[in-house]
Structure 1
Amino acid sequence: MEAMLHTQPTSIPSNCFSNSLLLPNRKSKSNIFYCFYNIKKKVKTLNHDFISHNFKIQAVDTNAPQLDFKKLEGSTTKSGYNSISWPSPEDEIPFWKREVPSWDITLEGPVDIKKDSDLMQIVHVTAEMAPIAKVGGLGDVVSGLARACLSRGHKVDVFLPFYECINKQHVKDLALVNTYDSYHDGSWVSTNAYRGVVSGIPVILVEPSNHFFKGQYVYGGSYNELEAYLFFSRACLEWMQVTGTQPDIIHVHEWQTGALPLLYWDMYHHLSLKKPRLVLTIHNMEHYGECSKEQFSKCGLDGSIYATEEKAVDDRTIGHNPERISLLKGGIVYSNAVVTVSPTYLKETLCSGWLAGTLIRHREKYCGILNGIDTGMWNPATDIFLPAKFDAHNIEEKKTCKHFVQRVLGLASEGHPMGSYAPNKVPLVVCITRLVPQKGLHLITHAIKYVKEIGGQMVVLGRTSDSRVEREFEALADLHNNGSSIRILLMYSEELSHMLYAAADMVLVPSIYEPCGLAQLIGMRYGAVPVVRKTGGLADTVFDMEDQSQPEMGNGFVFEGIDEASLNWALDRAFCYYREKPNEWSAIVQKVMGIDTSWNNTAGKYIDLYKSVRVRE
């Protein structure tokens, strides 16, 4: 490398070069490098503000004596290194927020899936849909199931509120199809219905002329959220009646659309909608859609009629003044079939929680169907967000992805100026999650310290709406983010999550309870071995490598307690395999990548369920 005049911009902290990472700018013919250094700033992404211990890019003209690029290039595969489009000093946005038109992607179903001979029209009514209105796993599930049913030949539409935060450019072929009136609180609200396509899935976006669904976020606007979803539930049925749409199945999700079955059977079924049958999926029992009888009455049904134990009263309020209504309970009672998202979570919900009695009374129509993942969207062999592609038969490029993430996040790697790195000795653990109590916050904070203590690396990607939790993780970020082992990013980025799964050696899911969990499924798809707590869907999808009762099932490391020692035990065993049994570790990686975590089988179970309740003409 030719010697150059070293010029350091005054805007870069004086300690930048002692704990930073210099990378080449491939756009320039000159030896200009850029420097990532740790700063704390408020930025905006995916319609959310967050505090991120982020990495700012500054151009630096230097001969970079502390980095030997020949050695660095030799640490990854030649094809992988040459295929990487490295971030540039000219970029004003983080490397993971490059413009990638994911909303324009039409993901085809597997070519080996046969079309069903007995086809149905299926409508999903939901508060979330990936990628345009995603907050949690609900959005992923709706999109994945819808696409799987489409691939089998069924007609599928997804009804979604037209949130103000949805970027219209992200919906292909968006067009206003009609304007109609829908009832709310004594008056009729002019409502627009738009058709479009999101990642190959037909959508109908419902936009009322009032203030509902206005704001920067999917949830948490200035409007009354519960009343907005009551309106949305009725507006979807009103649209079907106005247009003469008679689907075989109306599939509702969570408490937000739990009122739709009540509205259907006690109002619209008596009008013109005779054919549809109702399926409710409960993704998480954490929220019940609790409301007053007066609030419920704003949808046009008398709330006092439903405030009974047999219908929709919130059992926790029986004997109180006033008693309240649960939209989720009403949905359970009035739906033709009720699904939750894993067999183990079904058992757990039948044994605990105030809705257990209702679920037991309706046990004959309650079943557990394990979620899948959208393997078109989550595919390391074709993933548009990855610097290098790989699959179960060629996992070498996974190392390239790991090296890429280490470099751009400033984690120690081979040849890195921040510290030594021995290949196959420093596993990278990722935890991509909402930072809420359900996810085992005390175990996540402990894992950050313990992984560093035992010589690993860890990246936490997640956000929280709880200011106390945010302060706790900000403090951890301040403590660890300047080092070479830990990165805590208080944000969510779809693009960065893809990169992290691809880079990870292990994915940590230490949930206190987990209805299904998608992180472990996505992690396995990308060759990240899961380390999980045995609960809910985690117990149905991850089996301990050292469980001699079913050795053929082993695909991860499992612990049962909610204490730090239990987590340590699982991490210790995972690290031991990684460091001391490299051949066995490679076999585990290939094994988990070969597991079918797609919607193919799961969609078949849903279709069988649909057929069992549909009305045949």
Structure 2
Amino acid sequence: MRVLMVAAENDRLPKCKVGGVADVIRDIPYALAKHEVEALVVVPDYGQNDLNRTFVGDIAVPFRQHLETATLWEVERGEGVIQYVISHSLFSAHGGSIYCNDDEQRPFATDASKFAFFSAAVSEAIEHGLFQKLDVLHLHDWHAACVAVLKEFSPRFVRLKTLRTIYTVHNLALQGIRPFKHDESSLEAWFPTLSYDGQMLCDHQYPHCFNPMRSAITLCDKVHVVSPNYSSEVLRSSEPDRGFFGGEGLEHDMQIANRYGKLVGILNGCEYPHKQESKGDQTMFLNASEALLFEWMASSPQLSSSHYLAHQRIKQWRDAQEQGPVVTSVGRLTDQKALLLRQEVNTGVLLDELSSIAAKIGGRIIILGSGDTNLEFTFTQVMARNENVLFLNGYGQHLGDMLYELGDLFLMPSSFEPCGISQMLAMRAGQPCLVHKVGGLSDTVVHFESGFVFEGEDLGKQQSALISTFTSTLAMYDEDNEKYNQIRECARTQRFEWHNVAKDYINLLYSTT
């Protein structure tokens, strides 16, 4: 069997990662290869200079009433996997950035055009035999969804129509919605001769708009979400005011997919190297944090308050080493991850309350991440109010790896989490996690066995449950070290192997029987 994976990110290649999808695209092809599935992976070429390119062919792509030329390059081959990139000025026009942040008046406009062209280039490359002898086409997130649209509605793509097509949803909250017409970034502007069924492709809330994610869910042979529990959550309507995030407007389409046996939930995996990293100490971490802070400071002519306060906190902590628990958090700062932490309480926000609880036993909270500017400011204010909080407003892979090894409790109170990788990495390092019972967090952490889990029917109950569970967890750490270490060891021994995930891909997604 020969599978082509189409995605926007791939951490196998340099400077080609923003989120967790890049980890999946990096790892799953090699796991599939061990089951005698040859995997091909193609992503846009964002202008990386350090790729070892081998020319495969030029691709003539009709787009926006012009005939554009893209180029397919092979950049790596081995272990049963072939890595490709497609180059064109649309992909590399933004200084190597994978995604662009368009204003609220025209959301996704730049990226939607870029990935529509990428989808068209992939479709043309398939049609002209540049990817030979394919059996399965595996599309990831809205960025690759236009391949399914062209397969269904363009009569030009004969070879493409023969392929079994799988669609994986990594982030249901981002759907890439654009107008059908009357905009340079619209379906009819990209493909002016395409005859399509608007009822199948339109957004439910904005019927004059094209929804790439809904289109792929409707048109593909199988729809894959990245954990079993999440596959039931997406069948329900989101209720953000109550703190529940489910189908995000696509629950009806997910219900239809489920009814016809198209919807499959398969948990993502994690790599387990034979040699684990040695547990570092706080001094090493503080030194590494200071060095990275200096890099962040030097990258801007203005000194941010978050960097200044973080540097002061590092100097303060060096002079007063605490012996209490280290609570850690690593990830993008979005409402998905931090909605609960920013809820207002008497002492400020909920994160203030958690820091006060930790301070009673000498505990410290270290947060590494960036994202929403309002959340960054909120976390900076929390750091200013609490001497036991360090907020590092940025990201560095090395610092994240150190925190997984260093921490005593990993905090991941996501309001929704299709799968999650951070909890797996923390558990792998022997750091128990405190998680919200949603999505893949529910599938990976068992309360009082391999970690700590809270839940609640609405935002208020979730807040109370988080505070209560955090309090009891730190009390166990402080008063029953033997029990806590049993949970720590259980977390360390959990395995979510890509080898088993690959078998499920083959049996539940790729097989026609």
Deviation at 1:258, TM superposition (A): 1.1
1:212-265 per-residue CA deviation (whole Å, 9 max, x = no partner) reads 653342101787210111110110121122235231111111111111112123
Percent sequence identity over aligned pairs: 25
How far, CA to CA, are the matches of 2:77 and 2:337 in structure 1? 30
**Paired residue for 2:209, among 314, 324, 344?**
324
Question: Which ranges of structure 2 fall in alignment gaps of 5 or more residues?
Answer: 103-108, 238-247, 291-309, 343-348
Tell me the residue number matched to 1:157.
40
Distance 1:591-1:347 versus aligned 2 partners, 3 A rule: same
Matched, 1:460 2:367: yes
> Helix, strand or coil for the counterpart of 1:130?
coil
1:306-356 CA distance string (max 9 Å, x none)? 311xx11111124xxxx1111111101110100111122111111114211
Max Rg structure: 1
Work out which of the residue numbers 201, 210, 234 in structure 2 matches 1:349.
Answer: 234
SS in 2 for 1:316: coil
Q: 1:139 to 1:207 in 2, by over 3 A?
A: same
Q: For 1:286, what is the secondary structure of its paired residue? A: coil
Q: Is 1:145 aligned to 2:25, yes or no?
A: no
> 1:293 offset after TM fit, Å?
1.5
1:569-615 superposed Cα distances (whole Å, 9 cap, x missing partner)? 1112221222222222222222111111221211111111244238x
**Counterparts of 1:408 and 1:511 in 2: how far apart (Å)?**
27
Return the alpha-carbon distance in structure 2 between the equivalents of residues 188 and 462 of structure 1. Answer: 42
Give the 5 Å matches for 1:529-544: 529-544=432-447
For these two proteins, the number of residue pairs brought into alignment is 452
Instruction: Map 1:59-78 onto structure 2 (within 5 A).
Output: none
Is 1:203 the counterpart of 2:106 in the alignment?
no
Deviation at 1:403, TM superposition (A): 5.5
- The amino acid that maps onto 2:56 is V
Contact 2:45/2:91, CA 8 A, preserved across alignment: no
Matched, 1:296 2:187: yes
Which secondary structure does the structure 1 equivalent of 2:430 belong to? coil
The equivalent of 1:282 in structure 2 is 169
Q: Give distance in 1, aligned partners of 2:192 and 2:220.
A: 17
- Residue 567 (str. 1) matches residue 466 (str. 2): yes
SS of alignment partner, residue 224 of structure 1: helix
Contact 1:247 1:276 in 2 (8 A): yes
Cα RMSD (Å): 2.8
**Is the alpha carbon distance of 1:180 and 1:540 closer, same or farther for their aligned partners in structure 2, counting shifts above 3 Å?**
same
CA gap of 1:179–1:409, structure 2 versus 1, over 3 A, is closer
- Pair 1:335-2:220 in alignment: yes
Which of 108, 113, 121 is the equivalent residue of 2:2?
121
- Residue of structure 2 aligned with 1:312, choices 201, 204, 215: 201
Alignment partners' CA distance in 2, 1:490 and 1:205: 32
Aligned to 2:64: 185
Q: Which moved more, 1:558-567 or 1:196-205?
A: 196-205
* C-alpha contact (below 8 Å) 2:153/2:194 kept by paired residues: no
How far does the alpha carbon of each residue in 1:56-88 deviate from its partner, in whole angstroms, 9 at most, with x for none? xxxxxxxxxxxxxxxxxxxxxxxxxxxxxxxxx
Distance 1:417 1:191, change over 3 A: closer
Choose the corresponding residue for 1:260, options 147, 163, 168.
Answer: 147
Q: Structure 1 unaligned segments of length 5 or more: list them.
A: 1-119, 383-388, 390-396, 546-553
Match among 361, 364, 374 for residue 256 of structure 2 = 361
The normalised TM-score by structure 2 is 0.81
Equivalents in 2 of 1:160, 1:188: separation in Å?
Answer: 21
Q: Which residue of 1 aligns with 2:121?
A: 235
**SS of 1:587's equivalent?**
helix
Q: Residue 493 of structure 1 corresponds to which residue in structure 2?
A: 396
Give the TM-score, by structure 1 length: 0.68
**Distance in 1, Cα, partners of 2:192 & 2:509:** 27
- Asked if structure 1 preserves the Cα contact closer than 8 Å seen for 2:136 and 2:510, the reply is no
